[in-house]
Homo-oligomer: A and B are copies of this chain.
Amino acid sequence: MAVTIRDVARVSGVHVSTVSRTLSAAHLVSPDTRARVLAAADALGYRPNRAARALSTSRTGNLGLIVADIANPFFPPLVKSAQAQARERDYHVFVADTDERPEVEEELVRSMAKQVDGVLLVAPRLANRVIAELSRELPLVVVNRRLRGVPGVLMDVGSGARQALDHLLGLGHREIALATGPHTAWTSREIERAAEGLAAERGVLLQRIGPNPPTEEGGRSAAEEVAASGASAVLAHNDLMAFGLVRQAAGLGLSVPGDLSVVGVDNSHVAQYCSPALTTVEMPVSAAGRGAVDLLLQAVGAGDPPGTVSLETGLVVRESTAPPRGVGAVD
């Protein structure tokens, strides 16, 4: 029923192999046959069957993109840019959501393996060992995860976290809490590492809260502990948790930023609209999506694993941070 290469061959009076070459190695066919073939293909509305092509070339023209939670506002811009970049290179993208479950993540990679040329793991929750194992079976690129032997794009959230902490210290805060996300997330560990490093330098002790799920709900849970800790400021694992924190803090009678300063991470679209507008670490999400696709295609093409790309982050100061009660700004 569908029009195949055979139909085009029949109509243009050449062998199928000539049609094939016209379409994928044009320089191997004479100008006039090429013209005839293209005319026929056009007239018939021929589109190559990518599955069939995949079978003989073992190149599918597809990529997999696996994220923990599409509904988390951190991901959509990344999905968007990755998908756009892929399409520009004539690739299609499978998108899958793991619901934050590592075992689903692994199963997804495995089930996609035969159907894609490579997979992008964004903020994977999988154990290093498993990722390394998978990357032996097909080209893999990780985003926000550092793993030797596996190319990756990192958003240097550590430097952003340090800026955030520096900002809070500058405002005069001394009792600062760190609301951590899943310990399987590289960003979470990275934020802890960077923040605690800087805190140590400055002779301040950070209260570590959590881990909690990287969701609004997780932020609410964290709020109780933060309140109990008596901290005057908190650095949340991401914007979603920060929103939950702000919300629940209000429920506990704490105003933000009056009683509690809150800093998020992601600078998701939402951060600028919420009330109070959220001070947050900006992540170069779109660039990461594009870069990851480029890296992946490079790995697919060349076979030699390119290295790790690191992207800058920065702090966006808005309204959710202020000096603690009874203290004027210090810097």
Contact = CB atoms under 8 A, between A and B. Distances in A.
A110 B83 CA distance: 17
A70 B83 contact: yes
B55 A52 contact: yes
A94 B64 CA distance: 9
B77 A71 contact: yes
8 contacts: A48-B114, A51-B60, A73-B73, A83-B97, A93-B96, A270-B273, A270-B274, A273-B274
A112 interface: yes
Nearest to A247: B273
**Copies of this protein in the complex:** 2
B55 A51 contact: yes
Interface in A236-256: 243, 247
A1 B69 CA distance: 33
> Which of A69, A115, A274 counts the most chain B CB atoms within 10 A?
A115
A269 interface: yes
A199 interface: no
B93 A94 contact: yes
Interface string A70-88: 1101011101100110010
A115 B270 CA distance: 35
A276 interface: yes
Contact of A75 (B50, B69, B76): B76
Chain A interface extent, by class = 35 or more
B60 A70 contact: no
Closest 3 CB pairs of A and B: A275-B275, A273-B274, A95-B95
> Which of A76, A84, A273 counts the most chain B CB atoms within 10 A?
A273
Given A51-B51, A270-B270, A115 B92 contact: yes
A76 B70 contact: yes
B273 A51 contact: no
A193 interface: no
Contact of A273 (B60, B75, B77, B273): B273
A80 B70 contact: yes
Given A50-B115, A87-B108, A94-B95, 10 more contacts: A47-B114, A62-B115, A79-B95, A87-B96, A92-B111, A93-B96, A95-B95, A269-B270, A270-B273, A273-B274
Contacts of A83: 70, 95-97
A139 to B, nearest CB: 14
Interface string A247-282: 100000000000000000000011001111100000
A38 interface: no
A243 B273 contact: yes
A99 interface: yes
A330 interface: no
Contacts of A69: 80
